[in-house]
Amino acid sequence: MNKRYLISLSLIVFSLWLGVQFYVQPGNEVPLIKKIAELFWIPIILLPDLPGFLNDSLSDGLWMMALGSTIIAIWDHTISYPFIIFYGISILVGLGFEFGQAVRIIQGTFDIYDCLAIIMGGLVPLILLSKKQHYEYKC
């Protein structure tokens, strides 16, 4: 397996798994955070609670990060105009769900921090994978 696909697959699996963990449990109760605290001999009670907006919005950003990593892998780590359009549409769809909540078309509560998390989650795969110079630019 090519190194860039292994990085993408790792990012996809980790983002999905951690996103589910944060969605189901509050921040300090996430098993990964507990394990890190144990590794550094930090009593879990000393860990600060995650701010509410981070605890609530992190899963949205992580899921968008998994989607972005999947799209990058499907597109064979090549940036082209169709890739940029498709990638941009995926971020807009994520934001569309949030704005759908704002106008009560979709059940849920609109949160500006969710929008920021979705945008950041869409940008992180591009930044992480492009810093490793995995992209071929085709225009």
In this structure, the chain runs to a length of 139
What is the C-alpha to C-alpha distance for residues 17 and 109, in angstroms, rounded to an integer? Answer: 23
Number of domains into which the chain is organized: 1
Per the structure, the complete domain to which residue 102 belongs is given by: 3-137
Using 50, 70 and 90 to split pLDDT, how confident is the model at 130? Answer: low
The reported pLDDT for the residue numbered 85 is: 92
Task: Give me the chain's average pLDDT, please.
Answer: 80
pLDDT at 126 over 90: no
Q: What is the pTM of this model?
A: 0.76
Biggest CA–CA distance in the chain, Å, is 53
pLDDT score of 30: 66
pLDDT of residue 43: 63
10 Å Cβ neighbour count for 4? 17
- Does the pLDDT at position 136 exceed 80? no
Q: 44 versus 16: which is more confidently predicted?
A: 16
104 compared with 40, residue with greater pLDDT: 104
